[in-house]
Structure 1
Amino acid sequence: MSYEQFAYFYDELMQDAPYDEWVRFVKEKLIEYHVEGKSLLDLACGTGQLSIRFAKEGYDVTGVDLSSDMLAVAQAKSQEEGLLIPFFEQNMADIEGHGQFDIIGIFCDSLNYLQSDREVTDTFSNVFQHLKAGGLFFFDVHSIHKISHGFIHQTFAQAEDRLSYIWNSFPGEGPNSVEHELSFFLLDEQTGKYDRFDELHIQRTYSDKQYRDWLEEAGFDLLEVCADFENDAPKTDSERIFFIARKKPSY
């Protein structure tokens, strides 16, 4: 999977994403669970959409992402906003050397890009090590229902003057996984012709119970599992599942 071209028009494609809802959700839960600290590690931060929003809310944000191109966009945007956010290029399964934080988040279903059980458990273990005692870990994932019924065998398309795409989704090789084949057509304003870029994105999810078990094995207290930016427990047709876990104060 490559983000070399995708990074530079990602924000245009994601302009309707509910980033403000993620910020609202996290802030409400921090109040509910009495977390007053402001240091926040944004894993798989992408182009910094959430990093910048949290920084504007007064959080001391550090961003980490695997893509140097995504980070270049994030850095440029944060500088334009007059924000000093440190960004680092690392895989979330291999993070090291960042100290400890009050809050760690893996937002926007980014955890689903990990392809193996080991990568997920390594990520949870590393998050645990980078979290202060009593700190909160937030992440959201696609539900099995979303992968199976919302993506697989579906085609999505957009036709605009500057940027168009065709997005086909197929069953992945692993259980509860999907392969997204995307073709983008971006207008070159100098030549009037369209450049084509192709991407393959693979996502995999697991049952709520499996995530619960892995969190507990990593040493977390699981505080809450809810769905779709609401406080309600997931239903059979829920699409996005949210997990909130605490590092036990005794650690």
Structure 2
Amino acid sequence: MEPGSIGLYNDASVYDILHAPGTREEAEGLLRMHDRFVTAKASAKLWLEPACGTGRYLIRLAKKGKRGVGFDIDPGMVEYATARAKRLKLSPRPRFGVASMESFVGDGLVRPGSVRLAYNLINTIRHLESDDAMLGHFEQMRTALAPGGVYLVGISLTVYGLEPPSEDVWEGRRGRTTVRQVVNFVPPVANAGRARRTERVFSHLTIRKPSGEEDRDSTYTLRTYDEGQWTKLLKRAGWSVLGVIDEEGDDVKLTAPGYGIFVLSPE
């Protein structure tokens, strides 16, 4: 994020309002994915979300009786998620802690072999800035998963030199506050080595309240993978692909550039 910018991740309440729409349906999709792919014993009860933000999925899943743990590198997100779960008096109540995607097992939050399902959706994993960071993350996840557990990773794959810039618009509302985000994605024009494997993301937020309107701009980068790079990385990490699915848990044939959820199992 650029110095001095105030982006989406700097304000947990704004983040939560923007991402709330569709949470129920997405959580239902996770339940279907679990029922289809997970074969872990019942003793492995944990559902794990790396980089969980405000914990919206885990809070929804707790209402379905699922025992969840989430972590985020941002203390403000963790504080917000913890307070909301407590306020809702959920049982089981999801637990949240501050941790990075490269180091989260054995810190009192996630025990080795305790996770039946982990999920990391909507390109969040691409915040890891190098293949080494990604390999470290997958090794941590291998340790966390119980036998028969799976890891769901939602990722967009690129085609260098052929993927055009694109724009997404998101909007959420809570009470008398409306949050609108316009996001512009600028992919690398070609794969010219490691230094060029970044997609530039420009975010413009408009926050409307009865007291007035506020605009916030920020920018960040995401690491890019084409199909070959992603396949090679998973092979190096020692993970098998059980399937590629959409948000509802149905099989898809992913054609890059495009987004899919990879159902992964450690070899």
Length-normalised TM-score, structure 1: 0.80
Letter of the structure 2 residue corresponding to residue 95 of structure 1: F
User: For each residue in 1:61-100, what CA deviation from the matched residue of structure 2 results, as whole angstroms up to 9, or x when unmatched?
Assistant: 1111111121122112211221222111111122231213
| Paired residues of 1:47 and 1:71 also in contact (CA < 8 A) | yes
Structure 2: gaps (5+ residues): 2-6, 189-193
- How far 1:154 moved relative to its partner? 4.0
User: For each residue in 1:114-136, what CA deviation from the matched residue of structure 2 results, as whole angstroms up to 9, or x when unmatched?
Assistant: 22111111111111111122221
User: For each residue in 1:174-201, what CA deviation from the matched residue of structure 2 results, as whole angstroms up to 9, or x when unmatched?
Assistant: 5453222223343464xx4434433223
Shifted more, 131-140 versus 196-205: the winner is: 196-205
Letter of the structure 2 residue corresponding to residue 87 of structure 1: F
Quote the residue 1:116 is aligned against: 130
Q: CA RMSD in A?
A: 3.1
Quote the residue 2:200 is aligned against: 179
- Which residue among 49, 58, 62 is the counterpart of 1:55? 62
Is residue 2:185 matched to residue 1:169?
Answer: yes
Provide the rounded CA distance (Å) in 2 between the counterparts of 1:67 and 1:56.
25
Counterpart secondary structure, 1:52:
helix
Residues 212 and 20 of structure 1, relative CA distance in 2, 3 Å threshold = farther
What are the equivalent positions in structure 2 for 1:97-246 lying under 5 Å apart? 97=106, 98-100=110-112, 101-144=115-158, 149=163, 152=165, 154=167, 156=169, 162-171=178-187, 174-175=195-196, 177-187=198-208, 189=210, 192-227=211-246, 229=248, 230-236=250-256, 239-246=258-265
Residues 204 and 58 of structure 1, relative CA distance in 2, 3 Å threshold = same
Provide the rounded CA distance (Å) in 2 between the counterparts of 1:202 and 1:184.
17
| Paired residues of 1:162 and 1:186 also in contact (CA < 8 A) | yes
Provide the rounded CA distance (Å) in 1 between the counterparts of 2:224 and 2:147.
28
Q: Which has the higher contact order (CA 8 A, sep 6+)?
A: 2
Structure 1: gaps (5+ residues): none
Question: How many pairs does the alignment contain?
Answer: 242
User: For each residue in 1:6-48, what CA deviation from the matched residue of structure 2 results, as whole angstroms up to 9, or x when unmatched?
Assistant: 322112222334x344433332233233345331111111111
- Which residue among 41, 50, 53 is the counterpart of 1:43? 50
Length-normalised TM-score, structure 2: 0.76
Counterpart secondary structure, 1:92:
coil
Percentage identity across paired residues of the two chains: 20
| Paired residues of 2:118 and 2:151 also in contact (CA < 8 A) | yes
Is residue 2:13 matched to residue 1:31?
Answer: no
Letter of the structure 1 residue corresponding to residue 16 of structure 2: D
